[in-house]
Amino acid sequence: CIRDRYQRRVRGLRMPNFPSLLLFSLSIFFFPTVLSSSPPCGPWNEEREVLVALFGSTSGSNWLNSFLWLEPFSDHCNWFGITCNEQHQVVNISLPFNGLSGSLPAHFLEKLTQLETFSVPRNRLSGLVPSSLSQLLKLRSLDLSENSFDRIEDGFGFAKESSFQDLNLAFNLFRTLPEDLLRSSAEGFQSLNLSHNALTDLPSTISEVRSLTSLDVSYNEKLHIPTSMWSLENLQVLVMNMLGLQEIDPQIANMK
């Protein structure tokens, strides 16, 4: 790391005369910003690499705001849209309506082990939603709404022990969802927004999300509702506008 290399040089300096002392003093005067702003060593560098990959795969040079991103010696925790905890680990990525385009990096995001929120709505992202996002056990909220995603990678599913609560996939181009998305989902999974897509079926495993309290499937005109959905005993909000249903399943009366 830059900081360690510099500190080793400082410790190794010998100052036998006044010119050397003056040079040393000037270096201390001009370099503190480098030492204080350069990223720490160890796993933090891996997280920085993840963010660099995100920047590259989403056309970062065209973002509306990319303040400090990729600046030499800058601390990635100070980059626009990034929040870190006291241990200098990334816990929040929030880049809504910021001109992101392209796709999400497939095999990097799992290194952000402390990530709690990933929010990139109202951008121009497309393609595949990587399953690595669902492997983040600390992730609580994932907002990919108002983009052009059309597929979710097989194996995408939240483990029971994860902290996940809120998934927003509204206003995208999804036609199908993988069964694993809702199978054995996190015990705190409360809100799911699938509105304004092109879905034709919901995974039958939706009945396994017992903790779900809010579900929006509106504006999926050809969507078939599985009978298993009516067993969601904790559901409090159900939005089904513009589904093109010919009739309402009488089992809906069994919902509390």
For the chain, give the mean pLDDT.
83
Q: How is the chain classified by DSSP, letter by letter?
A: -HHHHHHHHHHH----SHHHHHHHHHHHHHSHHHHHHSPPSTHHHHHHHHHHHHHHHTTGGG-S--TTTT-TT--GGGSTTEEE-TTS-EEEEE-TTS--EE---SSSGGG-TT--EEE--SSEEEEEE-GGGGG-TT--EEE--SSEEEEE-TT----TTS---EEE--SS--S---GGGTTT--TT--EEE--SS---B--GGGGG-TT--EEE--S-TTPBPPGGGGG-TT--EEE-TT---SS--GGGGG--
- Cα separation values, 215 from 26, 42, 125, 197, 232, Å: 62, 41, 24, 14, 10
pLDDT (tens digit, 9 = 90+) per residue, 141-152?
A: 999 999 999 999
33 Cα distance to chain centroid: 30
Query: Residue holding tokens 């790391």?
Result: 1
Q: Of 167-176, 180-189, 207-216, give the lowest mean pLDDT range.
A: 180-189
Sheet with 124-129: list strands edge to edge: 101-102, 124-129, 148-152
Q: According to the model, what pLDDT value does residue 114 have? A: 96
Q: Of 85-99, 144-158, 218-232, 242-256, give the lowest mean pLDDT range.
A: 242-256
Confidence of residue 7 (pLDDT cuts 50, 70, 90): very low
Confidence of residue 256 (pLDDT cuts 50, 70, 90): low
d(CA 58, CA 127): 12
Confidence of residue 15 (pLDDT cuts 50, 70, 90): very low
Cα angle: 232, vertex 145, 106; to 5 degrees: 100
Contact 137, 114 (CB under 8 A): no
Residue 196 has pLDDT above 80, yes or no: yes
Confidence of residue 205 (pLDDT cuts 50, 70, 90): confident
Q: According to the model, what pLDDT value does residue 64 have? A: 98
